Amino acid sequence: MEKITDRQVGQDWEIEQGWSRYSDEDHAIWRFLFERQQKLLTGRACRDYLEGLQRLGVAPTDQARGLKAHGGIPDFARLSDILDRTTGWRIVAVPGLVPDDVFFGFLAERRFPSTCFIRRRDQLDYLQEPDVFHDIYGHVPLLMNPVFADYMQAFGEGGLRALRLGYLPQLARLYWYTVEFGLIATPEGLRIYGSGILSSGGESIYCLDDPRPHRIGFDLCRIMRTEYRIDRYQQTYFVIDGFDQLFAATQADFAPIYPEIARLPDIPPDFAWPGERVQTEPMRAA
Ligand code: HBI
Ligand code: FE
């Protein structure tokens, strides 16, 4: 009997969420994080995100209204049914970060891989790995938006191609500066759509109000050349005009773009050419 490798056992890495195993403390941490972000994000998160969140019915008040009234960590199966009806996406529970090819494979199939654990109270302000609050509160609401949902699937398909071509770092930068830390220009001013910001207390304020970070108009090649730091607030944010712009950018064939980028030097996260910044004044008095 040949040895079964981890990969064969967890072929697609999917696990059970085990919703009934969450403790009262787990749910209480979710409620604390949820309510903190709700106070911060009004007037800062983009409208499509707030609408998606509301339609998912994950707010403690929604759930107090009898929608699985527990007001804590949502049941992935319930969210998946709402998502599936809206944009064909479902949530799959995974143990943590999964290999790139597995991750992109999930996205290409409209399956969003979400972690199940929630951070501890001493990690409320910073967490290196994504937890269920980052994945569900940060990422899932925008999957209710049809154009963004299409972008995420196209991103998964592009990721698999980038892996084959050896340009994963460039594609990871595109994910980082859009899906995780993207800003969007609206008639009311800059708004947040990046999940890494939406699930973070301090960065939800810093990204819009602080004059120090560069805010640069979306440019695919510029983004794919720009390095990023995972252990601090971003020093550069990229600003889109709309999700159509994001989706259109993934429709181009990246194959000719990669060698062009590879010939040019990478750009440090704190660098900007004169005139690149789209918004120099903070949105609100710091
Ligand atoms: N796995 N669960 C999980 N979540 C991620 O966001 C993730 C991942 N594996 C790889 C990965 N992200 C990166 O390759 C992307 O950020 C490009
Ligand atoms: Fe994420």
Nearest-Å Rg of the Cα atoms of the chain is 19
Q: How far is CA 98 from CA 5, 55, 58, 108, 120, in A?
A: 16, 28, 25, 15, 21
Amino acid at 227: E
φ and ψ at residue 197, rounded to 5 degrees: -85, -45
- CA nearest to 80, candidates 143, 34, 30: 143
3 state SS of 49 = helix
Taking each helix axis as running N to C, give the angle between helix 76-87 and helix 47-56, from 0 to 180 degrees, rounded to the nearest 10: 120
Residue nearest to atom 2 of ligand 1 (CA): 97
Residue 274 lies in a domain: no
Question: What DSSP assignment string belongs to 181-233?
Answer: T-EEEETTEEEE--HHHHT-HHHHHHHHH-SSSEEEE--HHHHHHB---SSS-
Residue 171 lies in a domain: yes
Residue 213 lies in a domain: yes
Residue 2 lies in a domain: no
Residue 230 lies in a domain: yes
* Tens of each residue's pLDDT in the chain, 286 residues: 343 344 434 567 999 999 999 999 999 999 999 999 999 999 999 999 999 999 998 876 655 554 444 579 999 999 999 999 999 999 999 999 999 999 999 999 999 999 999 999 999 988 889 999 999 999 999 999 999 999 999 999 999 999 999 999 999 999 999 999 999 999 999 999 999 999 999 999 999 999 999 999 999 999 999 999 999 999 999 999 999 999 998 888 888 999 999 999 999 999 999 989 886 455 554 3
Q: Residue 128 has what pLDDT?
A: 86
Which residue range forms the structural domain that includes residue 158?
A: 19-262
Counting ligand 1 atoms within 8 A of each CB, the residue from 76, 92, 100, 115 with the most, and so the one to mutate, is 100
Look up the pTM and report it. Answer: 0.92
Residue nearest to atom 15 of ligand 1 (CA): 172
Q: Residue 126 has what pLDDT?
A: 82
Residue 11 lies in a domain: no
Nearest-5° Cα angle at 12, 11 to 13: 95
175 lines ligand 1 (CB under 6 A): yes
- Tokens (6 digits) for 17: 């969420």
DSSP state of 112: E
- Tokens (6 digits) for 73: 């960590």
Q: How far is CA 62 from CA 50, 104, 123, in A?
A: 14, 32, 26
Which atom of ligand 1 is nearest to 139's Cα?
6
- CA nearest to 80, candidates 31, 36, 14, 159: 14
Q: What is the number of domains present in the chain?
A: 1
φ and ψ at residue 84, rounded to 5 degrees: -60, -45
Residue 6 lies in a domain: no
Q: What's the CATH code of the domain at 159?
A: 1.10.800.10
